[in-house]
Amino acid sequence: MGDEGAGGGLRGEGADEGLRIDFLGPLRARRGGEPVALGPVRRQAVLTALVLRGPGLVTYGRLLADVWGAEPPGSGHQVLPSYVYALRKALDPAAAGPGRSVIRGGRGGYRFAPGAARTDLAALAEETSRTRRAKESGDHASALEYGGRALALFRGEPLPGLPGPFAAGERERLVRQRLLLRQERAECLMSLGRHADALEETLAASADHPHDEALAALRMRALYGGGRQAEALAVHRDMRRRLRDELGVEPSDALRRVHQAVLRRDDRLLLGPVAGHRAPGPSPAAGRSGPRPEPGPGGAADARPGRNDLPGDTACLVGRAGELALLTAPVPAGGVFVSAVDGTAGVGKSALVVRAAWTLADGYPDGCLYVDLHAHGASPESGDPVRTLRRLLRAVGGDRLPDGTEGDRDDDLESLVTAWRAATSGLRLLLVVDDARGADQVRPLLPAGPGSRVLVCGRQRLAGLDADLRLTVEPLPTADAVGLLRELLGGARADREPEAALALARRCGGLPLALRIASARLQNRPAWSLGFLAGRLSDDTRGLGELRAGDRSVEAAFRMSYDQLTPRLRRGFRALGLMPTAGFDGLCLAAMLGGPPGDAEDLLEDLVDASLLQQPHPGRYRLHDLVRAHARRLAAESPQQAAADLDAVLGLYTAAGRTAGEQNPGSADAGPGGGGSPFGGRREAAAWLEAVGGELVGVVACAVAAERFDDACRIAEALADHFVRLGQYHECRAALDLALPCADRAVDRRMPAALRNCLGMVDVYLGRPQQARVWFAEALRHDGGGPRERAAAVTGTGVAEWVLGRTDDAAALLEEAVELTSGLDDVWLSTMALCSLGAVRSLTGRHDLAAGLGETALAIAEKAGRPRILSNVLCFSADAHLAAGRHTQAGDLLLRAAGLARAAGDLPLRAASLSRLAAVEQVRGGLNAAVDAHHEALAALTPQSSTGLEMEVRVRLGSTYAEAGRHTEARREFRTALSLPGAGDHPRQAGLAREGLSGIGCAEEE
C-alpha cells in the first residue's frame, strides 16, 4: 500500500479536526490529544485495513480475508457491522450521523473517509522523501536530520499483536522500511567519515535482522573505516556461518565483494570519496614506501641485498584468509612492527607465518631472515639468543662479529645485542622467529631499522613481549577442515565419501597437522576408505595413536608441549583429562587438586597461555578433543592419582545437585557449611549447574563408563530435582536411565528403590501415571530403600491413582503416606503427601479438611524456608480455597506462589501457578486479566516442558476465550492442545480440549 492511502494529512468533508491515528507502534488513536479506546485486537485490525486500503471502498470479502485470513467466521460478512458500529462509536465526533461518520458504508463494503484523520504514516512518507532527496543531492548532513526524524516516529514494532494477513504484511513492510532508513542513515554517516556512529547504527539494527547481508556489509565497512579490519572480517565469517547453518545458502556476490575489498584494503570501494577520513591505523602504503633510513655504522654498507632465508611456502593453506590479511596488512613506517602468533601444537602457525612472510617479502629488499628457536624440538641451547644473534649478524654483516665473541662460549649477550642493533639500524628487514618459548628469547633479536617487521610464532603466548598485533590461531572450522582434506586427497576421492570426509574432519578436530597425517595415511593406503580411517579414529583408546605417519605424530607434538610445563602445570593438565564434561571451570580443577578455586584458575590461565587449553568464555575452559585424549592417556599413567581425581570431581557434581535441589534426600545438609559443600547456597549451586548446561547427562555417562556405580546413581538422583526445576524432564529421564543398571551393583542399597522413585515422579510430571505406578511398585519391592524410599513410593502411587481418577484408592494410599512421612525429616515428601491428600479430599467435597491439610503443609514449608516447596504448597492450598469458593484467598496465595517460583527459577511451577491464577480471575469475572495470566503462563514454558502442563494451560485459555465470546481464539487453543506431540498420552486434558471444541462448534464470533 502507498502511504497516501493513510490520509496524508488531508481533511475531507465531515472530518474530525482533532483525530489522529498512529500505526508505527501499537495501534493508537487520539482526539484532541485524548486517547481513544479502540477495543480488541481484531477490531483494531478492521480499522487498520480500512484506513490503509483507503480512500477506496473495501469490500466485505476483502475485509474478511484481511482480518480473518483462511478461517473466516461462519456467519461471513454479517459479523462486520458489529465491528464497524464499535469503531464509529469510538472515533466519530459527538452527534455525528452516518453521513458524517469517519467510516462510510457503500455497496458491498466500507471506506474510511478521505482526510478524516491524520496519521504518522503520512509524516513518515514526508520525512523519508526529504531524506532521499537530500542524500541524492549530496547533502548528507540534512539527510541525517530528516532520517532521524523519520526513525523517531517509530514507537517499537509496528502493529504488534494485530491478527490477520493484512496486518502481518503491513507490519513486515514497515519493519523493512525502518531497516532501510537505518541503512541509509549509516551510509550518510559513512559518507561524512563518522565510522563509529555508523557502526553504532548498524549494531542497533543487526539484532533484529541477523540474516540481512546489506546490513552486514555496512557494518564491515564501518569497522574497516574505524581501523578494525580484523573485526570486519569476523563479521563476514559469522554471517557466512549463520547463512550456511541456518538458511543453507552462501553469501551474496555483494557481500563477497565487500569481504574481498577488506582483504585488499580497498579504501576507494569501502569508504568512497571520504577515504581520507579513515580512522588512524595502518596506511596502505606503509612498509613499502617512504624515505629509506641512512645506513648506520657497519650496516647497509656490508649488507647482502635481497638475502632471503625463508623456508619454502606450503602448497595448501586453507581457511586462513582472515588471519593472513591481518598479518600482511600495511603498518606504520616509522618503527619496528612486531606480530606475535600463538596456538596449540599442529594448528598451522608456522605455515601461516611463512605464507605471510612470502607475501610481504617484496617490501623488504634489505633481507628476509628466518630463525627457528626449536623450543619444542631440539636441545635448549639451540634457542639461546647468543647463538641466534651470531647467526643473524653473519646474515646481515658478513663474518665480522664484535671483538672477543667469535668462538667464545661465554659470548657477551649485551655486546651482541648492541652490534645487532647497530647493524640493522639502517636496514628495513623482515624477520621471522619460529617456535619461540619466551619473550626473553625474542627481545634481543628485534632489529632496529625503521620500517622493519617481525613475525613471531610459538605455542606459548608471549605476554612479556611488546607486540603490536597478537593473533591466536584456532583450529579450522569443519567446512574448512573438509576443504583442506579435499586439497590434500584430491576432490574426487573426498567427494566419493562426503559424510565420511565430514566425520574424519571432525575426528581430527580441525587441526591441520592431524588432517595432514590422516591424508598421508590414506595416500599410503589406497585400499582404505575415508570411512574406515574415521572409524579407527573414533576409538577413544587408540584414536590418537592412529594420527602418526613416519616421524610425525600428533601425540608427539602434544607431548613436547607437555614436557615444557612446570610440575605444577603438568599435574593440573593430567587432571583435566579426567573431566566428565567438555567444558569446566576452576572449581572442578580445585576439587581435583584439593586447593582453593583461585589457585586452580591461575593454573588454568597458565595452560591457556601455553596453548594447551581453550577459553571460549570468561571463567569457562575446554580442551581440544585431541588434546583431551592426550591428557587422558597421561592421567592413566598414574592410576591411583587418576582415581582420586575422578572421585573428587564426581563428588563435586553430587554436592552441587544436592545443594541446588529442594527434593533430594540430604539436601538440607548440603547447604553452606554442611557436608563440605563448596557452594554458598542453593542459588550458587543452581547457577553452577546451569553453566554446565546440556553436558550434565554426560557426567552420569562418565561415571557409568568408569564403573563408578555409586557415583552414577548418586549424581543422577541429585540432579533430578535440578532437571525438574528447569522443566528438562527428558534430560532427567536420560540421566536416570543411564544410572539405573548401576543401582543393583552399587554399595548403597538405597539406590535401586531411590532411582525407581525418581523415574516414577518424572512419569507423573510427564502425565504417564500408569508407567509411574509400575516404577513405584518396583521401588516397594526393593527392601533396601528404607523408610524414606518406602514413603516416597507410597506417596507417588497415591498421586498416580489420583491422576488416574481413582480417588478412593488414592485417599487410602495418601493417608498411609502422611503417616509414614510424619516420622521422617523430609520436607518435600511430607508436604507432597499432605497436599496430595488435600487435593483428593477437595475432589470429594471435603473442602474444610483439604484446607486444614494445606495449612499443616504450609506450616512445614514456611519453617523449612525452601521457596519451591513453599510455592508448590501455596498452589495446592489455593486449589482448596478456590474449590470452596474463597476466591480472594486463592488469588492471594497464587500471586505469592508465582513470585516464589519465579525467584527460584522453576519455570514449570511458575506456569502452573499463573494458569491457576488465571482460573481465579476468570471466576471473578476478569476475563481480560485471565487471558493475560494464561499468556504469561505459556511464556514460562520451554520446549522441554511437559506436554500435559502445556495442554492444561491451553485448555484453560481456550475456556476463557470461549466464555469471552472469542470463539476463534478458543478454537485455536483447543486445537493446539490436541496437536502437541504426545497429546494422546494425556487423555484427561485431551478430553477437556474436545469438550471445549464441541461447546463452540456451532458458535460464531460476534
Any idea where the domains of the chain sit in the sequence?
320-394+417-472, 478-560, 906-1000
State residue 864's pLDDT score. Answer: 82
State residue 383's pLDDT score. Answer: 63
Cβ atoms of 436 and 456 within 8 Å: the answer is yes
Q: What CA–CA distances, in Å, run from 229 to 259, 267, 909?
A: 10, 12, 49
Based on the number of CB atoms within 10 Å of its own CB, is 492 exposed (0-12), middle (13-18) or buried (19 or more)? exposed
pLDDT bin (cut points 50, 70, 90) of residue 294 is very low
State residue 10's pLDDT score. Answer: 35
Q: Is the pLDDT of residue 878 over 90?
A: no
pLDDT bin (cut points 50, 70, 90) of residue 669 is very low
State residue 400's pLDDT score. Answer: 52
Which residue pairs, CB below 8 angstroms and at least 24 apart, start in 309-314? 309/367, 309/368, 309/369, 309/370, 309/395, 310/354, 310/357, 310/358, 310/361, 310/368, 310/370, 310/432, 311/354, 311/370, 312/354, 313/354, 313/355, 313/358, 314/351, 314/354, 314/355
Cβ atoms of 763 and 750 within 8 Å: the answer is no
Rounded to an integer, what distance in angstroms lies between the CA atom of residue 376 and that of residue 283?
A: 36
State residue 470's pLDDT score. Answer: 95
Q: What CA–CA distances, in Å, run from 896 to 827, 853, 880, 952?
A: 19, 19, 16, 21
State residue 196's pLDDT score. Answer: 84
Task: Provide the 8-state DSSP code for 266.
Answer: -
Cβ atoms of 284 and 266 within 8 Å: the answer is no
Region 39-45: what's the mean pLDDT?
A: 89
Provide the β-strand partners of residue 454: 338, 431
Report the mean per-residue pLDDT for the chain: 84
State residue 579's pLDDT score. Answer: 95
pLDDT bin (cut points 50, 70, 90) of residue 99 is low
State residue 665's pLDDT score. Answer: 54
pLDDT bin (cut points 50, 70, 90) of residue 737 is very high
Region 36-62: what's the mean pLDDT?
A: 88
State residue 23's pLDDT score. Answer: 92
Q: Give, in words, the CATH class of 320-394+417-472.
A: alpha beta
Region 797-819: what's the mean pLDDT?
A: 91
pLDDT bin (cut points 50, 70, 90) of residue 798 is very high
- Interacting residues of 982 by C-beta distance below 8 A, sequence separation 6+: 947
For 196, other C-beta atoms within 10 Å of its C-beta total: 14
What is the per-residue pLDDT across 879-896, written as a single tens digit (0 to 9) for each?
888 887 888 888 888 888
Cell numbers at 790, concatenated = 518406602
State residue 329's pLDDT score. Answer: 92
**φ and ψ at residue 101, rounded to 5 degrees:** -70, 150
Q: Which residue has the higher pLDDT, 285 or 64?
A: 64
**Percent of the residues in the chain that have a pLDDT greater than 90, as a whole number:** 34
pLDDT bin (cut points 50, 70, 90) of residue 714 is very high
Provide the β-strand partners of residue 458: 342
pLDDT bin (cut points 50, 70, 90) of residue 306 is low
pTM: 0.65
What is the per-residue pLDDT across 566-601, written as a single tens digit (0 to 9) for each?
999 999 999 999 999 999 999 999 999 999 999 999
pLDDT bin (cut points 50, 70, 90) of residue 286 is very low
Rounded to an integer, what distance in angstroms lies between the CA atom of residue 186 and that of residue 219?
A: 9
- Interacting residues of 405 by C-beta distance below 8 A, sequence separation 6+: 390, 411, 412, 415, 416
Cβ atoms of 397 and 418 within 8 Å: the answer is no
Alpha helices (H) along 470-615: 478-489, 491-496, 498-507, 512-524, 530-537, 543-546, 554-563, 567-576, 586-593, 597-609
Q: ∠ at Cα 156 (155, 158), nearest 5°?
A: 95
Cell numbers at 716, concatenated = 543422577
Rounded to an integer, what distance in angstroms lies between the CA atom of residue 675 and that of residue 302?
A: 75
H helix or E strand, kind and range, residue 851: helix 847-864
Instruction: Out of 117-131, 286-300, 391-405, 728-742, pick the least confident.
Output: 286-300
Region 803-818: what's the mean pLDDT?
A: 90
Q: Is the pLDDT of residue 760 over 70?
A: yes
State residue 140's pLDDT score. Answer: 85
CATH architecture of 906-1000: Alpha Horseshoe (1.25)
Cell numbers at 875, concatenated = 498452589
For 625, other C-beta atoms within 10 Å of its C-beta total: 20
- Interacting residues of 253 by C-beta distance below 8 A, sequence separation 6+: none
Cβ atoms of 229 and 262 within 8 Å: the answer is yes
Phi-psi region of 984 (alpha: psi -120 to 50; beta: other; left: phi over 0): alpha
pLDDT bin (cut points 50, 70, 90) of residue 909 is confident
Region 986-996: what's the mean pLDDT?
A: 85
Torsion sign across C-alpha atoms 823, 828, 830, 832: negative
* Helix, strand, coil in percent for the chain, rounding step 5: 65, 5, 30
pLDDT bin (cut points 50, 70, 90) of residue 6 is very low
State residue 273's pLDDT score. Answer: 61
Cell numbers at 506, concatenated = 571432525
Cβ atoms of 921 and 891 within 8 Å: the answer is yes
Task: Provide the 8-state DSSP code for 308.
Answer: B
Angle between helices 682-692 and 709-725 (to 10 degrees): 100
Q: Is the pLDDT of residue 376 over 70?
A: no
Q: In the block, which residue shows the cell 598421508?
A: 520
What is the per-residue pLDDT across 126-156, written as a single tens digit (0 to 9) for each?
888 888 888 888 888 888 889 889 989 998 8
Rounded to an integer, what distance in angstroms lies between the CA atom of residue 466 and that of residue 472?
A: 16
What is the per-residue pLDDT across 942-988, written as a single tens digit (0 to 9) for each?
766 778 888 888 998 999 998 888 888 888 989 998 888 878 777 77
Region 347-354: what's the mean pLDDT?
A: 93
Region 291-311: what's the mean pLDDT?
A: 50
State residue 649's pLDDT score. Answer: 95
Q: Residue 753: name the closest of 794, 716, 781 by CA.
A: 781
Instruction: Out of 401-405, 624-628, 731-735, 768-772, pick the least confident.
Output: 401-405
H helix or E strand, kind and range, residue 797: helix 786-803
State residue 17's pLDDT score. Answer: 52
What is the per-residue pLDDT across 208-257, written as a single tens digit (0 to 9) for each?
788 888 888 888 888 888 888 878 888 888 888 888 777 778 888 888 88
Q: Which residue has the higher pLDDT, 293 or 609?
A: 609
Rounded to an integer, what distance in angstroms lies between the CA atom of residue 610 and that of residue 689?
A: 28
State residue 1006's pLDDT score. Answer: 33
Type of residue numbered 192: L
**CA atoms within 13 A of residue 660's CA, in its CB half-sphere:** 27
Q: Is the peptide bond before 55 cis (omega within 30 degrees of 0)?
A: yes
Rounded to an integer, what distance in angstroms lies between the CA atom of residue 912 and that of residue 940?
A: 9
- Interacting residues of 464 by C-beta distance below 8 A, sequence separation 6+: 438, 439, 440
Cβ atoms of 329 and 452 within 8 Å: the answer is no
Instruction: Out of 337-351, 693-707, 767-781, 906-920, pick the least confident.
Output: 906-920
